[in-house]
Structure 1
Amino acid sequence: MSSIAVANLTYCHNLFSPPSLVDVDIALPPGSRTILIGANGAGKSTLLQLLAGKKLVTAVGADVRISGRDVFRDSPPGVTFLGTEWAMNPVVRGDIVVSAFLDSVGGYRHKERRDRLLDLLDIDLDWHMHNISDGERRRVQLCFGLMVDWDVLLLDEVTVDLDVLVRDDLLKFLKADSEERGATILYATHIFDGLNDFPTHIAHMCFGAFTTPPTPWPLTPDSPLTQQFQPSTTLYNVALQWLKEDRDFRRELEKQGRKQRGARRDETVPSDSETFYRKYDYSH
C-alpha cells in the first residue's frame, strides 16, 4: 500500500480562477523522501495543504489518501504539516517564553525527542517568542512540529529561514528518522544546496500538473530521466534545468495569448497610476 496516493485530483481555489492542480496522480511508497520541484505557483503548496486536509476537494472522482485513508472523510493519524504561515501567526509572535510554549503544546509528554530537537536546532528555552528572529522562530516551529513521532511529514519551504548549519543538521535528522521508522517525507523547497543525498525520489510540477512524476533518486543508467540528464547530475542542476524549461514554456504560452509577465514595453498610453504620480511628483 502506498503511503501517499492521489488519483484524479483537480482543484480550483474558486470558480473564477484556473485550476491550481490538474489531473494529479501520484503514489509514494512508505519510507520515501520526495522533493517537489517547480516554479512559484506550480501547485506545490496547494498539493501539500490538500494532503494535510487543510483544503477540501469537492471534485467528483478525486481520491486523496494517506496510509489508505481518505484525508477528508477518514483523517489518518500520524500526519504532520509544517508550512511558512505558522511563523506569521500573532499567537506565536506574542510575549511567551519558549519553554512555556512547548509545554503548552504537550512538550512535557515527549521529553526525550523534544530535548534532542532542542539541541539539534540550538534553541534557547528562555527566548521570548516576540523578541526573536524569524529564523529562531522557525526553529521553535520545527521543534514543536517534530517532537511527536510522525508517519507522514509534509514540508512546505520551512527551512528557508534557517542558517546553513542548522538546516544541514535538520536534514540529517529527518533522513535518519525516515530510515529508522519507515516514515514518509514530501518536501517542497527552492533551496537545493546540500540536498543531493537527502531524497529517494524527485518530482517536477508545472502549472498544477506533474510533468515528471515521483522518480527514484539518485539517477541510475536505466532511469527515465537519463534522456535529459547524466547519472552524475546534481539535484541543483536538475532543478535549474527544469525551471528554465518551465519559464521558456510559459513565455511560449504568452506569445499565444497567455497574460504576460514582466515590463509592458508595448504600452504607449500611460497607466492611471503613472498619470497620477507624474502629476503629483514633487521629487524634482
Structure 2
Amino acid sequence: MTQSTSAEQLAIEVRELSFTYTQGAEATRLTAEQTLEDIDLLLERGSRCLLIGANGSWLILERGRDVAGKSTLLRILAGKKLTKTKCAKILGQDVFQHPPRSVVYLGTEWANNPVIKSDIGVAHFLDSVGGYRHPERRDMLLNLLDVDLDWRMHQISDGERRRVQLCMGLMGQWDVLLLDEVTVDLDVLVRSELLAFLIKESEERGATIVYATHIFDGLQSFPTHICHLQLGRTPTPLISWPIKQSSAEVKHSHSDLLEIALEWLTEDRDMRRKMEKEKGKKSRGARSKTDTRDMKSFYEKYDYSAGK
C-alpha cells in the first residue's frame, strides 16, 4: 500500500492488533495466552493477500490455543472473535460495532457441523440460505465447482461438502472474502478454476480476498500481496507480489512463491523449536527409554505369550 492511499481506499485496516486467550476454569486461576501481537494489515480494495505461517501440526498447542494466529486473525476480521483493541476495520467499519454485511468467512469447521451433515438435498439447502436470490451466480458456481443438486448432504464426501460450502458462500455479491484453508479438500481442476474465478472477482468487481493456505501449487500468479504471520507476529512488512527487484523487499527477490514460503516456514519451525526448548519440552525427534518403535523394544515391552 502506498503512503498516498486514503482510508476510503482501504478494504481492510488492521493496526497494532493484539489478541489474548484467557484460560482457566476458576476466576482466580485465569491465565493469559497471547496469540496475536501488534498485527498490522492494510489492504486496498481489489487486493488478494496470502497469509503464510506454520500450520496446526507445527504449533505449540496449549488447550487448543492457535499460536500461529492465522485462523484467529481471520475470525476477528469476520467478527467471530472479540478483541478489546479497536483497530480492526473492513470497508471503513469497525468489525465489532458496525460489521459490514458484504463480508464472507469460510473456514474448515463448517463441514464438521452436524446440521450440515443432516439428510437434506443440496438444492433445498442452497435455497434455504438464499440461493434463489442469486440464480445466475449460483448456477455458474454449481458448474464451476461441479456440484450436483441431487446430492444429499449426509451422503457426500468431505470434498463434495466443501464445494457446496464454497457455492453457498460465494453466490452473493460479497466485497471481502476471508478463506481459512477451505481448498484443502478440492481436486486440482476445481481448485484451479476456483482461483481463476476469485482473480476475476477482484479485478472486475474490486473484491478483496485474504487467503490462508498451505497448498502453494498454482498460486504463483494469484496474490497481489503476501503476509508472513509468524507465531502471532508480523516480522516482515506486507509484501507486494510479484516482488520487483528495485523494491525495498529485494532480500526476498525469489521469483518462486514456494521458495519464500519454505524460507518463512523454516524460520517458524526454528522459532517454535527454540520456544519448546525454553519451556523444557523434549525435542520431537528425541526417543525416550521406553520408545517402542523398533521391533525388539516393542516385543520386549509387550509379552504376547502371556495368557496362552
Q: What's the TM-score once normalised by structure 1's chain length?
A: 0.90
Amino acid at match of 2:273: R
Q: Given the alignment, which residue of 240, 250, 253 partners 1:226?
A: 250
Q: Work out which of the residue numbers 178, 198, 214 in structure 2 matches 1:154.
A: 178
SS of aligned partner of 1:19 = strand
Q: In the alignment, which residue of structure 2 is the partner of 1:99? A: 123
Report the CA distance shift for 1:282/1:223 in structure 2 as closer, same or farther (over 3 A).
farther
| Offset from partner CA, 1:63-104 (integer Å, 9 cap, x none) | 110011100011112000000000001111011010010111
Partner of residue 273, structure 1: none
1:5 aligns with 2:13: yes
SS of corresponding position for 2:216 = coil
Per-residue CA shift, 1:170-214, capped at 9, x if unaligned?
000011011100010000000000000000000101110112232
Equivalent residue for 2:37? Answer: 22
Equivalent residue in structure 2 for 1:32, among 28, 40, 47: 47
Contact persistence 1:28–1:214 (CA under 8 A): no
SS at match of 1:90: coil
**Match 2:102 to one of 78, 82, 89:** 78
Distance 1:87 1:98, change over 3 A: same
Report the residue type matching 1:179 in the other structure.
Answer: E
Q: Does the 8 Å contact 1:34/1:214 carry over to 2? A: no
What secondary structure is seen at the aligned counterpart in 1 of 2:51?
strand
- The aligned amino acid for 1:26 is L
Which stretch shifts more, 61-70 or 188-197? 61-70
- Quickly say closer, same or farther: Cα 1:62–1:125, change in 2 above 3 A: same
Residues 99 and 125 in structure 1, CA contact (< 8 A), matched pair in contact too: yes
Aligned residues of 1:97 and 1:127 also touching (Cα < 8 A): yes
Distance in 1, matches of 2:89 and 2:151, equals: 39
Residue 217 of structure 1: how far off its partner (Å): 0.2
Measure, in 2, the Cα distance between the counterparts of 1:123 and 1:97: 12
Q: SS at the partner of 2:134?
A: helix
* Mean CA deviation greater in 252-261 or 99-108: 252-261
Alignment of 1:202-281 (within 5 A): 202-230=226-254, 233-257=255-279, 259-265=281-287, 281=302
Q: Which residue, out of 196, 210, 219, partners 1:195?
A: 219
Verify: 1:47 aligned to 2:73, yes or no.
yes
Q: Evaluate the alpha carbon distance shift between residue 143 and residue 283 of structure 1 in structure 2; reply closer, same or farther with a 3 A threshold.
A: farther
Measured at CA, do residues 149 and 261 of structure 1 come closer, stay the same or move farther in structure 2, by a change above 3 Å?
Answer: farther
Amino acid at match of 2:35: S
- Secondary structure of the 1:159 match is coil
Q: Cα–Cα, structure 1 residues 18 and 109, in superposed 2: closer, same or farther, change >3 Å?
A: same
Residue type at the aligned position of 2:12: I
Q: Which amino acid aligns with 1:34?
A: C
CA contact (8 A) 2:119 2:154 kept: yes
Larger CA deviation: 64-73 vs 10-19: 10-19
**Is this contact kept in 2: 1:10–1:62, CA < 8 A?**
no
Give the 3-state SS of the residue equivalent to 2:229 in structure 1: strand
In 1, Cα distance between equivalents of 2:282 and 2:32: 16
Counterpart CA distance in 1 for 2:46 and 2:243 is 18
Match of 1:115 among 139, 151, 158: 139
Question: Which stretch shifts more, 115-124 or 18-27?
Answer: 18-27
Distance 1:112-1:19 versus aligned 2 partners, 3 A rule = same
SS at match of 1:93: coil
Partner amino acid, structure 2, of 1:51:
L
Gap change, CA 1:185 and 1:229, over 3 Å in 2? same
Aligned residues: 273
Tell me the amino acid that sits aligned with residue 264 of structure 2: W
1:2-33 deviations in Å (ceiling 9; x for gaps): 11011121111214242110111221111100
Which sections of structure 2, spanning at least 5 residues, go unmatched? 1-6, 24-30, 56-66, 292-297
SS of residue paired to 2:89: strand
**Counterparts of residues 132-171 of structure 1 (less than 5 Å):** 132-171=156-195
Q: Report deviation, 1:282.
A: 5.7
Q: CA–CA distance in 2 between the matches of 1:258 and 1:69?
A: 44
Aligned amino acid, residue 195 of structure 2: L
Deviation, 1:257, is: 4.0
TM-score by length of 2: 0.83
